[in-house]
Structure formats: structure tokens, C-alpha cells
Chain A
């Protein structure tokens, strides 16, 4: 008997650095009928906890992975199959499944980050997938490539996807003279040239959205479309105490309350996430870069650069995504946008691409499919 009717559920890979995950909870029991998007189980990684959601409808037949145990990425953890597939076939499938060896892809994981040497210094980036168009993911203030850990895989099935650390962020160069949004836009365009991106679909989060809009203004020929996630530069109000608290924090204790503001569920601010952010923030020059960025970006809770007019006149399709429970940039700013497709997600906070990755990925893919 063939295994054609069996759909394996495997340990997902969220981001380039994920090697394994721990199953913390099963949401379904064998025999349950599952619809697309249903939460099947919860997985905890070193950085974040999230739910594995069904990508296909069907009947859940078996839990292969146990709760509180750690499995490598791509390990078989569950089985979906129509009810008429006998248990013996599922047994055979489980026995025949080639589970990855633990830690075997360590080197492959490490080498996925590359370095582009710009005039001002190195930019860390990653590239994955292939397609006729490029997608460039631009993180926000204080972020880095890891922000896109839940999005790269889904988008790279159809496109060549680039992520990178903005100057002053992550592992990119820290000595930025111009920490304004136009300054960042200039650096991103230089990065695109350095890695051979002619034009790209820009996906910008928060300040990254403002950078994407600025790029549309300064180099429209290099912008195919815009996806603005919880974007800055649309309205005035912004959470100044978050920006300043994040820039200043130099310990877990100081950083935690700031990072908790990013998510609707503060539990997502895991110890590992905080440690990784601190590692980046403790690099010489990182804090100064963040402080310089704030200086031109926001004063007394008001954004200093508003680019909403660019959306109104944009000759490029624009998708705006915003979480209803955003505590950094109010949802109303995206909600009131005209001349753009607006998607408001009820559950997430300021990080919908992390908190509701599946929905955000689907929205982006649908948006991009209309660009041609």
C-alpha cells in the first residue's frame, strides 16, 4: 500500500537558526477533523513559542511526538490521513520515515548568513528560495534578520527572499552617520545594488515600513510593491517610552518590559529572545545608533516623518497589515488608509508577522501574486 494519502506533520523550521523544538502541548486528539489554520500543537524554540497550524484539511490520526520532548527540525511529530487508511499503514509510514539526525545541519545553518561589504561596513544578510521576483524584508527599529523567522520559508517557496540587518542593528556595521529614515533608505538601496537586486517587493515592518516608503519616493524604479506591517510614517502617534526604553536597556530586567509591549501576549518575550537582543545591543556603537535613530525618528511621542501621501499617489500596489492590539503604533493609523489594501488582524500586537505568521504570509503571498 502506498503512503499517498498520508500527510506528515513535522517539526517546523522557524528561522535560519532553529535546529530543534520542544512540543509543549497537543491541541488535537487522534480522530479529530482539522481545518486549515487550526492549531495542532504548540512548539517552543530557544527563541519563541508558537503554534503549528494545519496547512491542509484532514483527519488527525496520530501523535508521533511526545509532549515536553525535543525534536530536530523536520522530524516526524504527527500524522494526518483519511479515516479509511488503516493503522498498520500509518505504522509502516512512521517506521519508514527518515528523521533528520540531530545537529547534522549545524554547518548548513551557520553558513546561511552572508555578508555584503558596503562602503561603510558589513551588512549581514540571508537569501533563500528562487523565483522571477525578489522580496526584501526590512525589519524595524531595534530588530534584526531573526524577526522574519516565521516568514522566510513560506515566502521563499515562490520568491527569492532577502533578509538583512539594517546598519546599526544586529551584526551589521554600527557607525552610521545618517540615522534618519532617508539615511536608512539610502543604505538599503546600496545593499540591494551590492547583492544584485534590481528591484524588489518591499516588506517593511514598523520603521522598516517607513524606510520602504522612502525608497519608493527616492528610487521608484526599484520598488515592485509595498507591504507595510504595523508601519511607521503613516500617522503621528508612536510609543516614545518604548523606543527610549528599548534603546537604553542594558539588562534583561530593563529590556523585558519593553519587549513585552511588542506582543499581545507578553509571554512571547522569552528569556532567549531577550538574551539575543541584549547581545546585539551590547555591541560597541549599537546603543548610540539606536539613540541617533530615535533623535530624528520621533520626539515626544510624535513621528517626525509622515509619508502617507506617497501611498495615496503610489503607482505600486500597497498592502497594509496591522495588529489590533498594537501598543507601539496605533492600529487606527493603518486602518484609516485609503489607496491601499488594509488587513487588520484582531489578535496580534506590534509583531503580526511573528504573532500571526500564517495569516500574514498568506496575505503577503496573495498581494504579491497580483503584482504582475
Chain B
């Protein structure tokens, strides 16, 4: 049965159901215990935003509160994964990942390759991404492209509660390290989510809106901005197709190419910085593989190449808006008229 729940609850439910199903699933993170209805410290937050609330009460010591040392517990999680457990490490903000890059890039991502396929690292690192939370430059980045750059890592960024549950379950069952990026401004987003467990396979984009004129590619929060833009453009009789990438590594380029071959126009929306981003990656691939189908130059809509500002008005200006996406879509159409 499906019912409407938030992405926050969907993520909690995915962890809960997988911990129930598989005793090898464990969780580590800062302040993730708590919220169990106990006394004092036992009844803390359940994670910085309460994502793991109630899980300690059900699964007990399979949830570990860790010291404030990301490199230590991410390393511990990677070690546990290679020894047969299926750890989920919660890293609060993806911005803190920097201190564990050796553990992630040189160890977890390389084990399968360097040990001739004889070591597996079934690990999930969950972390919040994205701006708009008034949390300043060190807690607001969209660092997805840093992880898609590394072979051996899988990178996921859901846009809604349904996908979040199915993709997280798949991530936990997956035998490779998965960086699971949760947009903090989507935690409250609600949609129909089945009560039962289900896994969404990696590498399949979701066409969230079909259209004939322009293809808009996005992920995470930007999917909603793209849909908002598509709705605005409908009034101008511009029919946009919106693709939600869902998984960034592996990436479903086929769905993007198929769409661009039919629309002839591409707008890539990415909350990450513009250079070496998911947007620039998609743009390059499409230019290489479907150049003949393009009727106009590819447009990118991203934040500027600067840190996320702390000033609320500047932060709002920083994040790609529906209007910016509309303008980019119209640029792909104006060019055609100019010719």
C-alpha cells in the first residue's frame, strides 16, 4: 500500500526495513542514536535533522554514535564493509567529506579493482547536499561532481520520497561503495511511497515530464525547479521534456540522448558549480554523441563559480531558479529564429 510521506520518513523507513531484513546492516554517524524515547542523552536528535529518529529503539547497538572524527568512522565503516557487514555511514554534510578523501577515494573506491575483484565494499555514505538552508559556504555545497569523477564510486541524488526509498534500499543491497546525496531542502517533500520494500536499479533516469520542444536535464532539487519552469513555459506553448537523472554514477546517458534526438535542444540544470559539473559532463557527452540532432547551442544553468553566500538574499540568487531555466530554454529557441 502506498501513502503520502516525506522524503525524510522515506529514508528512515528504507534504513529501518533493510536493518530488519538483513542483520549485517549497521549504521554509524554523529548523533544518529537518540530519539529512542529514553532518558537524557538517549533521547537526542536521531541525527542532525532527526532522520534516524526511533531506529536505535528498534535495532539497538547496530547503530553507533561516533566521535566527531569523520575520517575515523568512515574508515571503520569501509573496513567493516570489506569484512562482510553492510554499513551505512551518515556524514551530516557532504562538505565534511574532505577529511576522509583518502579513505573513500584511495581505499573504498579502489579495493575491488586493486584486489583483482576479490574484495567488495558494500558501503553507503549518506550525506546532505545543497544550498538554501542558510547554513553558509561550508554546509551548502553540491559536491556531486567530485564523486562522479572517481571510478569505483556510485553516486545517487534522489529528487523525491519515492525514489529516495527505492534508491537507498538498492544502495544498501549494492556491493560497491555508494555516495548517497540527500538534498536537505527536499526532506519535507512528500509523495506516494509504498509501505513495502522495493529497490530502484541504478542507471535509469526518470522522464518526469514528456515534451516535444526542449529537453531539460536535472537532478535533486533542480528537478522541481525544472518542472516549475516547464509549467511556466507551457503558457508560452513551449513544451519541455524534463529528465531526472536520479543516479549520477552510473549515469543514464541513453535516456538523455534519446530525448535530445527528438527535441533537438538541451538545457542542463545543476546546483553544483559550473566547471567540471554534472551539467558540463552531460553537455559534452551530448555534443559528442548527438551533435547532428542539436538545433541550438546547449545551455547550462548552474550556480556561479563562487562559494555559496551566507547572506539569505544572495544565497537565493545563487541557486538556479525556475526563471533562469525558462530564460535558458528560450535561448535555445531564439537561436533558431535568429538563423
A joins B in a complex: yes
Contacts of A171 in B (CB 8 A): 1-2, 194, 196
Contact string against B for A residues 144-180, beta-carbon threshold 8 Å, 1 for contact and 0 otherwise: 0000000000000000000000000001001000000
Task: Verify B166–A115 contact, CB threshold 8 A.
Answer: no
> Of residues 164 to 216 in A, which have CB atoms within 8 Å of B's CB atoms?
171, 174
Interface size class of A (residues with CB under 8 A): 10 to 19
A89 interface residue, CB < 8 Å from B?
Answer: no
B201 interface residue, CB < 8 Å from A?
Answer: yes
Contacts of B162 in A (CB 8 A): 279
Contacts of A271 in B (CB 8 A): 207, 210
Task: Please name the residue on chain A nearest to B234 by beta carbon.
Answer: A70
Task: Verify A282–B2 contact, CB threshold 8 A.
Answer: no
Task: Verify A282–B199 contact, CB threshold 8 A.
Answer: yes
| A283 touches which of B198, B201, B210, B254 (Cβ 8 Å) | B198
Given A115-B1, A122-B1, A271-B207: A284 and B201 within 8 A (CB)?
A: no
Task: Verify B1–A282 contact, CB threshold 8 A.
Answer: no
Contacts of B194 in A (CB 8 A): 171, 279, 283
Task: Verify B200–A282 contact, CB threshold 8 A.
Answer: yes
How distant is A253 from chain B, measured CB to nearest CB, in Å? 7
Cα A282 to Cα B206 with chains together (Å): 15
Task: Verify B197–A283 contact, CB threshold 8 A.
Answer: yes
Task: Please name the residue on chain A nearest to B207 by beta carbon.
Answer: A271
B204 interface residue, CB < 8 Å from A?
Answer: yes
Task: Please name the residue on chain B nearest to A173 by beta carbon.
Answer: B196
Q: Which of A174, A279, A282, A283 has the most CB of B within 10 A?
A: A282
Cα A124 to Cα B196 with chains together (Å): 13
Contacts of A284 in B (CB 8 A): 196-199
Task: Please name the residue on chain B nearest to A46 by beta carbon.
Answer: B210
Task: Please name the residue on chain B nearest to A251 by beta carbon.
Answer: B204
Cα A253 to Cα B198 with chains together (Å): 19
Interface size class of B (residues with CB under 8 A): 10 to 19
How distant is A195 from chain B, measured CB to nearest CB, in Å? 16
How distant is A17 from chain B, measured CB to nearest CB, in Å? 10
A252 interface residue, CB < 8 Å from B?
Answer: yes
Task: Please name the residue on chain A nearest to B203 by beta carbon.
Answer: A251
> Of residues 195 to 243 in B, which have CB atoms within 8 Å of A's CB atoms?
196-201, 204, 206-207, 210
Contact string against A for B residues 139-171, beta-carbon threshold 8 Å, 1 for contact and 0 otherwise: 000000000000000000000001000100000
Contacts of B2 in A (CB 8 A): 171
How distant is B220 from chain A, measured CB to nearest CB, in Å? 19
Contact string against A for B residues 163-194, beta-carbon threshold 8 Å, 1 for contact and 0 otherwise: 00010000000000000000000000000001
How distant is B115 from chain A, measured CB to nearest CB, in Å? 29
Contact string against B for A residues 114-139, beta-carbon threshold 8 Å, 1 for contact and 0 otherwise: 01000000101000000000000000
Given A115-B1, A122-B1, A253-B254: A283 and B204 within 8 A (CB)?
A: no
Task: Verify B197–A124 contact, CB threshold 8 A.
Answer: no
Task: Please name the residue on chain A nearest to B4 by beta carbon.
Answer: A110
Task: Please name the residue on chain B nearest to A274 by beta carbon.
Answer: B207
Contact string against B for A residues 243-266, beta-carbon threshold 8 Å, 1 for contact and 0 otherwise: 000000011110000000000000
Contacts of B166 in A (CB 8 A): 282
Task: Please name the residue on chain B nearest to A70 by beta carbon.
Answer: B234
Given A251-B204, A271-B210: A124 and B198 within 8 A (CB)?
A: no
Contacts of A282 in B (CB 8 A): 166, 198-201
How distant is B170 from chain A, measured CB to nearest CB, in Å? 9
Contacts of A252 in B (CB 8 A): 204
> Of residues 88 to 127 in A, which have CB atoms within 8 Å of B's CB atoms?
115, 122, 124
Cα A284 to Cα B194 with chains together (Å): 11
Contacts of B197 in A (CB 8 A): 283-284
Q: Which of B196, B200, B206, B254 has the most CB of A within 10 A?
A: B196
Contacts of A253 in B (CB 8 A): 254
Contacts of A275 in B (CB 8 A): 206
Contacts of A251 in B (CB 8 A): 201, 204
Contacts of B201 in A (CB 8 A): 250-251, 282
Contacts of A250 in B (CB 8 A): 201
Task: Please name the residue on chain B nearest to A286 by beta carbon.
Answer: B198
How distant is B263 from chain A, measured CB to nearest CB, in Å? 15
Cα A251 to Cα B246 with chains together (Å): 14
Task: Please name the residue on chain A nearest to B21 by beta carbon.
Answer: A284
Cα A231 to Cα B299 with chains together (Å): 52
Contacts of B200 in A (CB 8 A): 282
Contact string against B for A residues 316-327, beta-carbon threshold 8 Å, 1 for contact and 0 otherwise: 000000000000
Cα A225 to Cα B213 with chains together (Å): 51
Contacts of B254 in A (CB 8 A): 253
Cα A115 to Cα B210 with chains together (Å): 33
Contact string against A for B residues 295-308, beta-carbon threshold 8 Å, 1 for contact and 0 otherwise: 00000000000000
Task: Verify A124–B1 contact, CB threshold 8 A.
Answer: yes
Cα A174 to Cα B1 with chains together (Å): 12
How distant is A289 from chain B, measured CB to nearest CB, in Å? 12
Task: Verify B196–A174 contact, CB threshold 8 A.
Answer: yes
Cα A268 to Cα B156 with chains together (Å): 31
Cα A171 to Cα B198 with chains together (Å): 12
How distant is A271 from chain B, measured CB to nearest CB, in Å? 6
Cα A253 to Cα B35 with chains together (Å): 43
Cα A115 to Cα B1 with chains together (Å): 8
Contact string against B for A residues 282-301, beta-carbon threshold 8 Å, 1 for contact and 0 otherwise: 11100000000000000000
Contacts of B206 in A (CB 8 A): 275
Cα A253 to Cα B257 with chains together (Å): 14
Cα A171 to Cα B2 with chains together (Å): 8
Contacts of A122 in B (CB 8 A): 1
Cα A250 to Cα B162 with chains together (Å): 17
How distant is B159 from chain A, measured CB to nearest CB, in Å? 14
How distant is A19 from chain B, measured CB to nearest CB, in Å? 13
Contacts of B210 in A (CB 8 A): 271
Q: A122-B1, A283-B194 are in contact. List 15 more A-B contacts (CB 8 A).
A: A171-B2, A174-B196, A250-B201, A251-B201, A251-B204, A271-B207, A271-B210, A279-B198, A282-B199, A282-B201, A283-B197, A283-B198, A284-B197, A284-B198, A284-B199
Sample (23) of A-B pairs whose CB atoms are under 8 Å apart: A122-B1, A171-B1, A171-B2, A171-B194, A174-B196, A250-B201, A253-B254, A271-B207, A271-B210, A275-B206, A279-B162, A279-B194, A282-B166, A282-B198, A282-B199, A282-B201, A283-B194, A283-B196, A283-B197, A283-B198, A284-B196, A284-B197, A284-B198
Q: Which 5 A-B pairs have the closest CB atoms?
A: A284-B197, A282-B198, A283-B198, A251-B204, A283-B196
